[in-house]
Amino acid sequence: MNIPSTRTLHLGVLAIAGLVLAPLIPIQTLAQDSDIPRTSDGRPDFSGTYDVSTLTPFQRPSRFGNRLILTNDEAFSIANAEFERKEDNQTGSDPNRTAPPQGGDGSTGAAGNVAATTRSGSTTVPTSCVSTMNSGLLSLLLH
Protein backbone atom coordinates (compact mmCIF):
# COMPACT_ATOMS: atom_id res chain seq x y z
CA MET A 1 0.00 0.00 0.00
CA ASN A 2 1.36 3.42 -1.02
CA ILE A 3 1.21 6.17 1.57
CA PRO A 4 0.81 9.64 0.01
CA SER A 5 3.52 12.16 0.78
CA THR A 6 2.86 15.22 2.93
CA ARG A 7 3.14 17.44 -0.15
CA THR A 8 0.49 15.40 -1.96
CA LEU A 9 -1.84 15.65 1.03
CA HIS A 10 -1.35 19.43 1.26
CA LEU A 11 -2.06 19.85 -2.45
CA GLY A 12 -5.19 17.73 -2.13
CA VAL A 13 -6.48 19.79 0.80
CA LEU A 14 -5.80 23.04 -1.10
CA ALA A 15 -7.59 21.72 -4.19
CA ILE A 16 -10.67 20.70 -2.20
CA ALA A 17 -10.71 24.03 -0.33
CA GLY A 18 -10.52 25.88 -3.65
CA LEU A 19 -13.40 23.89 -5.09
CA VAL A 20 -15.54 24.47 -2.01
CA LEU A 21 -14.78 28.20 -1.65
CA ALA A 22 -14.74 29.20 -5.34
CA PRO A 23 -18.53 29.39 -5.75
CA LEU A 24 -18.76 31.63 -2.67
CA ILE A 25 -16.69 34.44 -4.23
CA PRO A 26 -18.45 36.14 -7.15
CA ILE A 27 -15.96 36.56 -9.97
CA GLN A 28 -17.60 39.82 -11.08
CA THR A 29 -16.86 41.31 -7.65
CA LEU A 30 -13.18 40.43 -7.90
CA ALA A 31 -12.93 41.66 -11.47
CA GLN A 32 -14.58 45.05 -10.82
CA ASP A 33 -11.93 46.07 -8.27
CA SER A 34 -9.30 46.68 -10.97
CA ASP A 35 -8.61 49.60 -13.32
CA ILE A 36 -8.77 47.35 -16.39
CA PRO A 37 -11.28 48.52 -19.02
CA ARG A 38 -14.20 46.12 -19.22
CA THR A 39 -16.83 45.13 -21.75
CA SER A 40 -20.52 45.43 -20.87
CA ASP A 41 -20.53 41.84 -19.57
CA GLY A 42 -17.59 42.52 -17.22
CA ARG A 43 -14.86 40.77 -19.17
CA PRO A 44 -11.52 42.56 -19.81
CA ASP A 45 -11.68 44.74 -22.93
CA PHE A 46 -8.74 43.79 -25.14
CA SER A 47 -10.02 45.58 -28.23
CA GLY A 48 -7.63 47.92 -29.96
CA THR A 49 -4.56 47.89 -32.15
CA TYR A 50 -1.38 46.24 -30.96
CA ASP A 51 2.16 46.61 -32.32
CA VAL A 52 3.71 43.16 -32.28
CA SER A 53 6.62 43.95 -34.60
CA THR A 54 10.02 42.59 -33.66
CA LEU A 55 13.58 42.81 -34.92
CA THR A 56 14.13 39.22 -33.79
CA PRO A 57 14.16 36.93 -36.84
CA PHE A 58 12.07 33.77 -36.70
CA GLN A 59 15.05 31.57 -37.57
CA ARG A 60 18.55 32.37 -36.34
CA PRO A 61 20.92 33.88 -38.92
CA SER A 62 23.95 31.67 -39.49
CA ARG A 63 26.32 34.43 -38.31
CA PHE A 64 25.14 33.80 -34.72
CA GLY A 65 25.95 30.08 -34.83
CA ASN A 66 24.46 28.25 -31.82
CA ARG A 67 24.30 31.37 -29.61
CA LEU A 68 20.87 32.02 -28.08
CA ILE A 69 21.48 35.60 -26.87
CA LEU A 70 22.87 38.74 -28.50
CA THR A 71 25.35 40.99 -26.74
CA ASN A 72 24.12 44.49 -25.87
CA ASP A 73 26.38 45.90 -28.61
CA GLU A 74 24.92 43.53 -31.23
CA ALA A 75 21.35 44.36 -30.18
CA PHE A 76 22.12 48.09 -30.30
CA SER A 77 23.74 47.72 -33.73
CA ILE A 78 20.67 45.90 -35.13
CA ALA A 79 18.24 48.42 -33.61
CA ASN A 80 20.35 51.35 -34.84
CA ALA A 81 20.56 49.91 -38.38
CA GLU A 82 16.75 49.57 -38.41
CA PHE A 83 16.34 53.14 -37.15
CA GLU A 84 18.66 54.45 -39.90
CA ARG A 85 16.84 52.36 -42.53
CA LYS A 86 13.52 53.88 -41.46
CA GLU A 87 15.02 57.38 -41.44
CA ASP A 88 16.34 56.87 -44.99
CA ASN A 89 12.89 55.70 -46.12
CA GLN A 90 11.17 58.83 -44.80
CA THR A 91 11.87 60.77 -47.98
CA GLY A 92 8.80 62.07 -49.76
CA SER A 93 7.45 60.13 -52.72
CA ASP A 94 6.54 61.61 -56.07
CA PRO A 95 2.78 62.28 -56.06
CA ASN A 96 2.79 61.90 -59.86
CA ARG A 97 4.34 58.43 -59.83
CA THR A 98 2.71 55.56 -61.69
CA ALA A 99 0.89 52.71 -59.99
CA PRO A 100 2.92 49.62 -59.10
CA PRO A 101 2.67 46.69 -61.51
CA GLN A 102 -0.32 44.38 -61.12
CA GLY A 103 0.53 41.65 -58.63
CA GLY A 104 3.04 43.84 -56.82
CA ASP A 105 6.60 44.91 -57.42
CA GLY A 106 8.25 41.78 -56.04
CA SER A 107 9.29 43.38 -52.74
CA THR A 108 8.69 41.62 -49.44
CA GLY A 109 5.90 44.06 -48.60
CA ALA A 110 4.59 44.50 -45.08
CA ALA A 111 6.33 41.37 -43.86
CA GLY A 112 9.64 43.05 -44.66
CA ASN A 113 8.80 45.94 -42.36
CA VAL A 114 8.54 43.80 -39.23
CA ALA A 115 11.95 42.17 -39.38
CA ALA A 116 12.98 42.89 -35.81
CA THR A 117 12.86 45.17 -32.77
CA THR A 118 14.56 44.75 -29.47
CA ARG A 119 12.11 44.50 -26.60
CA SER A 120 12.21 47.48 -24.28
CA GLY A 121 12.86 46.52 -20.71
CA SER A 122 14.31 43.15 -21.69
CA THR A 123 17.71 42.23 -20.29
CA THR A 124 18.37 39.64 -23.00
CA VAL A 125 17.84 39.77 -26.74
CA PRO A 126 17.42 36.38 -28.42
CA THR A 127 19.14 35.61 -31.73
CA SER A 128 15.91 34.06 -33.07
CA CYS A 129 12.34 33.22 -32.11
CA VAL A 130 13.20 29.51 -32.50
CA SER A 131 15.12 28.63 -29.35
CA THR A 132 14.42 24.92 -28.96
CA MET A 133 16.99 23.81 -31.51
CA ASN A 134 20.73 24.38 -31.34
CA SER A 135 20.85 25.81 -34.85
CA GLY A 136 17.90 28.16 -34.34
CA LEU A 137 16.48 26.77 -37.59
CA LEU A 138 13.38 24.70 -38.19
CA SER A 139 14.01 21.47 -39.97
CA LEU A 140 11.50 20.18 -42.49
CA LEU A 141 10.41 16.60 -42.23
CA LEU A 142 9.73 15.12 -45.65
CA HIS A 143 7.93 11.83 -45.90
Cβ-based neighbour number of residue 118 at 10 Å: 20
User: pTM of the entire structure?
Assistant: 0.41
pLDDT tens series, the chain, 143 aa: 567 678 777 777 778 877 777 776 665 555 555 688 889 998 988 888 877 778 888 888 888 888 888 899 998 999 899 889 888 887 777 888 887 777 666 665 544 333 344 455 555 677 777 666 666 666 554 44
Q: Are 53 and 117 in contact (CB under 8 A)?
A: yes
Tell me the longest C-alpha to C-alpha distance in the chain.
86
Go through 10-49 and write b for each residue having 16 or more CB atoms within 10 A of its CB, e for each that does not: eeeeeeeeeeeeeeeeeeeeeeeeeeeeeeeeeeeeeeee
What does the pLDDT read at residue 111? 41
What does the pLDDT read at residue 115? 38
CA distance 111 to 108: 6
Helix (H, G, I), strand (E, B) or coil at 84: helix
What does R_g of the chain's alpha carbons equal in angstroms? 25
